Amino acid sequence: MPAYGKVKVDTITYDLSGTATDVSVSNIATKASPTFTGTVTVPTPSANDNTTKAASTAYVQTELGDYALKAGPTFTGTVNAADLVLSGDLTVNGSTTTIDTTTLQVGDKNIQIGKVSTPSDVTADGGGLTLLGATNKTWNWVNSTDAWTSSEHIHLGDDKKLLIGTGSDLEIFHDGNNSHIRDTGTGSLFVKASTFYVNSPSAEDMITATADGAVTLYHNNSAKLATTATGINVTGAINVNGSALSVSPSVTANADGAIGAGDAVEIQANGTVKKIAATVVEQGAPTLDVSKTVVDSGGTVHNTMAISPEGINLSFYRDSDNSNYPTVRAAKINTAGNGFDFGTEITVNSASSTVHDAIYLTTNNGNPIFACCWSSSSHTYLVAVMVNATTLACTYTSNNFYGVLVGAKMATFGSGTVFCVAGSIHNQAYLYRLYSYNDSAATVGALSNTQAGIGGTSPTGSGNGYVKHNSLLYDPDAQRLFHFCQYAGGNDKGYTIELDIVGQTTIASGDIGTPSAWNNNMSGSNMLKEEHVNSCYDTENNRAIIVFTDPHEGKCMAMAGPISTAGDGSKTYAWGTALEVDSNQCSNVQVIFDPNIKKAVVNRNDEGGSDNLRWNILTLNTSDNSLTLGTEFSPGYTQGSNSGKNSTGYDVTRDVIVRGFRDKTNDNAALFTVKTSTTTTTAERLLGFNQAAVTNGNAATIDIVGATNENQSSLTVGSKYYVQKNGTIATTADVPSVEAGIAVAATKLVVKG
């Protein structure tokens, strides 16, 4: 290669396509590290050319389109990087964000989803987690149910608990051996369902319960016991303490105490059976039970009252605002036990009358029948009144009425002092009538099933003086009526007259006994001269008890005594020492035997104490027939004059004494009740009825529900019977009401319980 020297020029001219161009040598860049000025144009390489060619601005702009800016970059397509570390916040906008990694770790403790400018339950609806699989596994918030909803099972391991309640009150878990639902908090555990099932893992029924229907217990998927609307239904045998019940059905258990045939029994905690009985605790003094309740507010006199075993009482009075007509009205203590329910009053005679007495006769088809006695226009009347046990409406008729004759004027015995007594004495009401105060003659009339009245004769001593202030007593042991009175023919002493007339159709002179004085050992001013007399019979001790007012001494007295036989063979009473009941003279004295405490109870209005009604319990000493006076009680009521004398009755359905009286404050006829004891009973624990009498410790066989007990007596076929407090049965419900069964014969009772 030849060597050349240097050529020094200022300008170079070159011809490019016929056009000469001058280039100043000073404007030509050096080959090594040239420096250009102005605009340098180079060819634009093809896209993604990675050779050493110069890159034009066009090439660079094209290639920069594939890169993101460092500040606020925008990526398209797939961005790949080995590691990405962000020091600031990461915001991703789009419909889907995919993180393709095996493990996602988040350092934050709280992840918020559903972030919008104004969050609400509506915007949160459907939010949650979705795990993709053959079917999606979701955990979502559902606004309509206000709850998180999972599409899949939730599995807790052994000893891992589902805890419910602020204090983890309810736990559900499996401990590796057993499953538990444990209520550890306050309150109760309720399971509420219209139909409730308890099944085995193999779907066998164990317990089913249906709202308003049966609860059924199963054994080996077979129903054995189901509740019904009236009790239970058992499929298969019943065992009690391991012993099978007989087919009858009946149960055998040892007796705790003697049990009679047909007795109602209870089963005790130790498996023995015991006769149902009432426990009576006597109070220190009578107390008010039902307060004074008005029977008639129009003004009344001669108020008297009688009561039936069904607890229905009949008030009988002269109605002053209805022309003094004899009027009746029925009443019964209401279900709540705090007042009376009343029927409509009716008159039994349309004439001004003097009311004498009312007594209970009998009950027919559940409706009690009473006898009422009054006098008008020199005649004495005796009629029967029936009370509808449901409506308490009173009716009477002149025809034969349920086997008892009734009528507007059944018997005419003339004028005079009249009173009657009876009840269950052969369904007869005995009217013992005294002609007048100046004739001592007395006759007897009766209301019976077959006749209107029976005649009579006078007691021995007729013509020797008059008798007044009378009381009749039926002695069930002697089966006699006894007349207690003040007998003027005997120097105003108190006398007893025997009446041997029970069940008779005619009266002979020998049926009326000789008057026997009460006070043979007294004389002068100490003679007992009673102004008001009343009596009752103590069936527990077989004693008669009389109370009376002694006007000479100005005191109220009481005596008791057993029956005895006089020298002439007539029956009378051997009285004990008279007891002072009240230091004041009293009127309208009443005495009644309380079968619950087995004692007599006396009440009277104290004429020395503004006519206040006063009550005491009388305790009898059978060794000498003396009486002891209990603590006095006054309900704060006052009795008006011209009140009826027999106006105290015992309500066996409530174990209370009912008192009818004329209220002194307004002359109204009124009722109230007092009680002398509190009673508890085991009747509500009725098991059934004993088949045969057993002694203490021996096996008793008890007819239970569904069996027929054949050891009853005097039942009314078709009637429903109830267990009473003392274990007996009756057609009226006691308190509490416990159904015994239905009578299918006089001696047979289908046990219900």
pLDDT, tens digit (0-9, with 9 covering 90-100), for 378-396 = 666 777 889 999 999 999 7
Residue scoring higher pLDDT (640 or 425)? 640
Closest CA to 397 of 388, 389, 386, 387: 386
Helix (H) or strand (E) holding 164: strand 162-164
Give the pLDDT score at 48.
Answer: 81
pLDDT reading at 679 higher than 70:
yes
pLDDT reading at 453 higher than 50:
no
Give the Cα separation of 346 and 329 in Å (integer).
Answer: 7
- Identify whether the C-beta of residue 325 lies closer than 8 Å to the C-beta of residue 347: yes
Residue scoring higher pLDDT (669 or 422)? 669
Give the pLDDT score at 219.
Answer: 92
Q: How far apart are the first and last CA of the chain?
A: 144
Domains of the chain listed by start with CATH number: 125-150 (no CATH), 191-236 (no CATH), 249-266+700-751 (no CATH), 286-456+636-681 (no CATH), 466-506+520-634 (2.120.10.30)
Give the pLDDT score at 504.
Answer: 64
Residue scoring higher pLDDT (496 or 433)? 496
Give the Cα separation of 66 and 111 in Å (integer).
Answer: 34
Give the pLDDT score at 519.
Answer: 57
Taking CA atoms, 476 is separated from 230, 363, 530, in Å, by 42, 20, 25
Structure tokens of 583? 């230091």
Q: How many CB atoms lie within 10 A of CB 690?
A: 24
Helix (H) or strand (E) holding 122: helix 121-124
Closest CA to 296 of 317, 274, 276: 317
Show the DSSP H helices in 44-95 as ranges.
57-64
- Identify whether the C-beta of residue 400 lies closer than 8 Å to the C-beta of residue 344: no
pLDDT reading at 610 higher than 50:
yes
Tally the residues of the chain.
753
Give the pLDDT score at 526.
Answer: 42
* Rounded average pLDDT over 30-37: 78
Q: How confident is the model at residue 684 (pLDDT cuts 50, 70, 90)?
A: confident
Give the pLDDT score at 398.
Answer: 46
CA 228 to chain CA centroid, Å, is 20
pLDDT reading at 402 higher than 50:
no
Give the Cα separation of 564 and 581 in Å (integer).
Answer: 25
Q: What is the mean pLDDT of the chain?
A: 80
DSSP 600-627: EEEEEEETTTTTEEEEEEEEEETTTTEE
pLDDT > 90: percent of the chain: 32
